Amino acid sequence: MASHLTQKTQSDARLKLPIYFLLDTSTSMQYGGRIDAINSIPPAVRKAARQDPVIDAKTRFCYITMNDTAQVVAPLAPGGDDIQLDLEPKGLTNYTAAFELLRKTFIADFHTLNEANTGTHRPVIIFITDGEPTCDATERKRAFDALMAVADWAPRIVMFGVGPEVTHETLDQYTGPKGFSVVCRDEPGRTSAEYITTMLSTFIQTVVDNIGGAPAQKPLDTGTEAGNDDVDDPFMHAVMQAFRDDDLLGRALGE
């Protein structure tokens, strides 16, 4: 029996934009300052939120890690909350566990926001990774298809790859119809950490400038087939354009 999660009618002013940072903490993230850059994300979000009240008013942030398994290390909360990460790199790169946890977490968060008479925009996932997935391909596809199974609520996904091993060919499989991929290679004088920091700054500014997006009006049915309707997404277009305009990120976009 399908589970219907029906959005209560809310004005745009009350809707929140849930943003999920999915953070690869596998062993290879120890290189190029990547894990340090990952740990610095919540303080940077907190600083931005405290400087610009619209971020706390209109968004919520969640932090999920992935290596051999996936776990929520900081549940959905205002960006201005005092969240500290002290992550250490270990294990492999299990996309399957990440996709399964994302789906479960978003459904729970939807209920929480809906019951608080807040409501939610379509979620955004920023997936930062530096390697090819090591999990079974069939199980990985099944988990991703389940995450994207409801066209009205399938998340917007930015696959942000850093380092020498990750490829657009892999990342593009997991952007969904509304997302895109970025691949940044370490270069002399430019490390993965710099790319991650630049991406975060550009993304946060885009959120402030183009907060939210049109909310879905249909029920969230966790039993329906995936669809590609409503592919046009002004918010994701704005994010992509901001990345394209950035000197460091523009040439790393998948075209």
> Mean pLDDT across the stretch 199-227?
60
Averaged pLDDT of the chain: 84
> What is the rounded CA–CA span in Å between residue 153 and residue 150?
5
pLDDT digits (tens, 9 = 90+) for 82-116: 999 999 999 999 999 999 999 999 999 988 888 88
| pLDDT at residue 234 is higher than 90 | no
The proportion of the chain whose per-residue pLDDT surpasses 70, expressed as a percent, equals 86
Local structure of residue 190 (DSSP, 8 states): B
State the pLDDT confidence band at 247, using cuts at 50, 70 and 90.
Answer: confident
> Mean pLDDT across the stretch 132-159?
92
User: Is the domain defined by 15-252 classed in CATH 3.40.470.10?
Assistant: no
Sign of CA dihedral 197, 202, 206, 208: positive
Local structure of residue 51 (DSSP, 8 states): H
> What is the rounded CA–CA span in Å between residue 184 and residue 165?
10
Q: Which residues, other chains included, contact 135 with Cβ-Cβ below 8 Å and sequence gap of 6+?
A: 92, 93, 94, 95, 96, 97
In the prediction, which pLDDT does 249 show?
87
Q: Closest Cα partner for 103 from 87, 120, 125?
A: 125
Each domain of the chain, given as residue ranges in start order, spans 15-252
Q: Supply angle C-alpha 203, 204, 205, rounded to 5.
A: 90
Strands 70-77 and 59-66: antiparallel
Q: What is the pTM of this model?
A: 0.88
CA 13, chain centre distance (Å): 22
Helix (H) or strand (E) holding 47: helix 41-51
End-to-end Cα spacing for the chain: 40
CA 240, chain centre distance (Å): 14
